[in-house]
Structure 1
Amino acid sequence: MIAAFRSLATYVAVSLYVAIAGPPFILIALAFGAKKLLYRVGHGGVRLAMILSGLNSRIEGAEHIQRERAAVYAVNHTSNVEPPLLFDALKSLFPRLRILYKAELRKLPVLVRAFDLAGFVPLERANRGQSLPAIEAAAAALRDGNSFLIFPEGTRSRSGELLPFKKGGFIMALRGQAPIVPVAITGARHAMRKGSPWVEPVTVTIRFGQPVETAGLSVDDRDALMATVRDRITGMLKDSAS
């Protein structure tokens, strides 16, 4: 009951925050190119949600965050709380952090405008005609020094076990010649289970692993690269569980 009340309060407060702060800061970002300000406003919404819901994160392996070069952060996916928690954990990369996200989220009017201004890239996996140009656009952004956050499973896992990986993010990393940092999240599934609207006040652990280099590799190496990153995340999840 307490979690339900806190969750409702969080939804109301964050909705008001987005409705009030979103439009004027989007206009400021458009007028003055103040992209970093837009990131800070978004991060403020994330922090507000974390405080009100009682959700906390513990960061391990922060030394593997690539602050001096572009990288792709590949994360396991079990809960809706993971994207905002990663956004918070990677705040040191603002405003050069991008997200490769599902195109369905473009139905949210205020968010989609902010996403476009921030350079986030929508991916419609079922539409090859859209997905290939999107991957190329993301690879170009990588080459320009921007990092990306991806969830290679493409959807949330109900069991917590890793689902099969999609290839798009790995092709993007190879075309952009950017390293992939494996990231293992534990505890998020207990914070917000798939199908539930309530957020439980728990601490989620975010563990960054050593980057997997892609320099000198080609798109033909995508399956081997995907297997390597998957093995790294699997091992990190097992270490966290032991």
Structure 2
Amino acid sequence: MIRTILVLLFLLCFFIISIPLYLIEAIIGHFDIHKKERSSFVIVTTALKIIIWLSGIHLIVKGQEKVPKDQAVLYVSNHRSYFDIVTLYPLTNNTTGFVAKKELERIPFIRRWMRYMNCQFLDRENIKEGLKTILNCIATVKGGCSVCIFPEGTRTPGDDMLEFKEGSFKIAEKSGCLIIPVAITNTENVFENHIPFIKASTVIIEFGDPIDLNAMPKEERRHIGSQVQGIIGGMLKENSLANVES
């Protein structure tokens, strides 16, 4: 229970501190939008690192050196927990925006920081708005900011994954960026498995080899979703065994 209380107290403090920071970031963005994105990225990743520490998460990271640091990429990950973003976001290179469910846009405190960092809100019930979100992500990547998506469309705790939505990969196809498969293991044991309490746990995040759609035959590109899902599934299987043994 103490970890839950500490995280809630920190979030309250961060909310209070955010009020003047919003103004500072707005002023910075008036003169240099990219500088605002970078400073917001630093502020939020620092806050998330503190949450990771307060939650007692032992983070094991594999393959991070495979991610290019000089270009925007499309991170594609399985989705198990609210703590997926908490643990993954500080590991991304440069500025990165997430595709999140539309409901998060209703929370002013979260919404403003997400907008500062080029995050997109997806309405899963509206096909037209979903297409608009994908187009915004393509423009974001072309502008030099990476994007992270969860192609399952919702959280699926455990070893099984829902089928990846192929439309999500249009971001890489149309922008020409590399795809980085990401396997996240055991985040559900931090919170979802024993709501409302936070439990100290080991979380494994593995980055796979970059995938270049432009180097693939057209026929293979049509099924890139299932291919990436297979890669992530293989990493999850290996890391689940490693996590049990540890």
- Deviation by residue 1:164-203 (Cα, 9 ceiling, x = unmatched): 2123421222111212111111121222225722221112
In 2, Cα distance between the equivalents of 1:68 and 1:35? 16
**Partner of residue 153, structure 2:** 154
**Partner of residue 27, structure 1:** 23
**Partner of residue 9, structure 2:** 12
3-state SS, counterpart of residue 214 of structure 2: coil
Question: What code does the residue aligned with 1:178 have?
Answer: C
- The alignment's TM-score, normalised by the length of structure 2, stands at 0.88
**Partner of residue 223, structure 2:** 224
CA contact (8 A) 1:78 1:160 kept: no
CA contact (8 A) 1:185 1:207 kept: yes
Call closer, same or farther: CA 1:195–1:155 in 2, change over 3 Å: farther
Question: What code does the residue aligned with 2:165 have?
Answer: K
**Partner of residue 65, structure 1:** 67
CA contact (8 A) 2:73 2:179 kept: yes
CA contact (8 A) 2:213 2:221 kept: no
Q: CA RMSD in A?
A: 2.0
CA contact (8 A) 1:64 1:209 kept: yes
Residue identity (%): 27
Question: What code does the residue aligned with 1:56 have?
Answer: H
In 2, Cα distance between the equivalents of 1:167 and 1:175? 13
The Cα shift of 1:35 comes to 2.7
CA contact (8 A) 2:159 2:236 kept: no
Question: What code does the residue aligned with 1:155 have?
Answer: T
- The alignment's TM-score, normalised by the length of structure 1, stands at 0.89
CA contact (8 A) 1:179 1:215 kept: no
CA contact (8 A) 2:181 2:231 kept: yes
